[in-house]
Structure formats: C-alpha cells, structure tokens
Amino acid sequence: MNGEDLDRLGRQVERGSLFTHTALGRGFVRLRELESFVYGLIDALIARGVVTQDEIADAVASVRDQLDASGEIPEPGVALRVDSAEPAPPPVVVDCKARMHICHAVCCKLHVVLSAGEVEEGKAKWDLGQPYVLRHESDALCTHNDRETGRCGIYADRPFPCRRYTCANDERIWKNFEKMELNHEWIDENLAESRPRLRHAMLATPPLEQGD
C-alpha cells in the first residue's frame, strides 16, 4: 500500500469516526430531551392523581415488550436510495468529451446515494463517514473518477443516478448550456474541496438528480 492509499484510508477512518461520534452525540442529546419531557409529564400526572406509579410501571413494561418483539434495531442513521418502479425517461445525450476541458467532470462531485442492491454488489465504494453515499476524495471528486481522463472507472457498473443523470440544462452546473458557460458561483459554493466534517453539514450537497 503506497502513501496515497494510506492517506485515502486515513481520511475514510477519520470520516467514519466523525460520523459515529456525531450520530451518537445527537442521539444522546435527543434522548436527554425526551427523558426530561417524559419524566416531567409522569410526575405531573401522578401529582394530579391522574395515574398511579404502578399503572405507569405496567404501561412501560407492556410497551417495552412490544418493542422487543418487533425486532427493530436502533441505528445512528444511514441513507439508502429507493428507486421508483416507474421507468425513467431516457436522459438527454451530452457530448462529454467536447465539454470535459471546461467542466472537468464536475458532475462527479455531485452527491449520490446508493441503493441496497448497489451496496451489496460492492462495485461502487461508499463513504464510511456518510453511509451509504458514493465516496468522494479530498478534491471532492468521486473516488472512481479517473483524474487524468475524467472518465468513470466503474462506468459499466455505475450507480443508477449516474446512469440517468444529464447535465443538459442543469442550472446548477451551466449558466448557459449551449455556450458552455459554467455556473462557477454555485459550483464553488456547493462542490468545493471535500473534507471530514459533521454529517449534517455534508448533507447540504444536493443529490445527483436534475431538478432537485
């Protein structure tokens, strides 16, 4: 493993740690608020004689049994794409080669959520700090992007959003599609260098779907 691979691995470990700590921290804050509300409500109800402590204990035990029987496992939160059953219209064909010297494959910086099938297939790498979002490197480009040619390294197995996406008339990317004038303001604000950060801040990046 060379130095570049070690840097990428270290970055993913850092992002994974940030995701875990952020999700756990947010969960404990919400749990504290919920506990304060529930215990306060119980104390108020008991003080007013609406319920007794024994009735509360019995109700809590009943709900706990129902939750245990459901088999649901608490989780810190992940993103998985669920595609519509309706067939997607064919995308507008774009001559990427003619635009590459201007756009530098900026569409490969857009946010892509993988489906369960794509995750299990294992062809597209996902971000350990943002499950299950297509992985980006520190330059904000998709990890599968060939930096020399701008082409996709897993083109035959690329995620479905990448297959149906077209930059034609996407105002986030082009101020003027026909004249090939990039929307540098939006790109600089939303698709800048990627770095480890709190997960909720990362989600500000828009999905790779025209019109969102």
pLDDT digits (tens, 9 = 90+) for 21-32: 777 778 888 888
Start-to-end CA distance of the chain, whole Å, equals 39
Mean of the pLDDT values across residues 92-113? 93
What are the distances in angstroms from CA 117 to CA 77, 80, 82, 151, 178? 18, 10, 10, 23, 36
Say how far apart CA 78 and CA 12 lie, in whole Å. Answer: 16
pLDDT at 211 over 50: no
Q: How far is CA 176 from CA 103, 111, 124, 156, in A?
A: 12, 22, 31, 30
> What pLDDT is attached to residue 115?
92
Q: Residue 166 and residue 209: Cα distance in Å, rounded?
A: 8
pLDDT in tens, 104-150: 999 999 989 999 899 889 999 998 878 889 999 989 999 999 999 99
- Amino acid letter, 86: E
Q: Which pLDDT does position 21 carry in this prediction?
A: 74
Confidence of residue 77 (pLDDT cuts 50, 70, 90): low
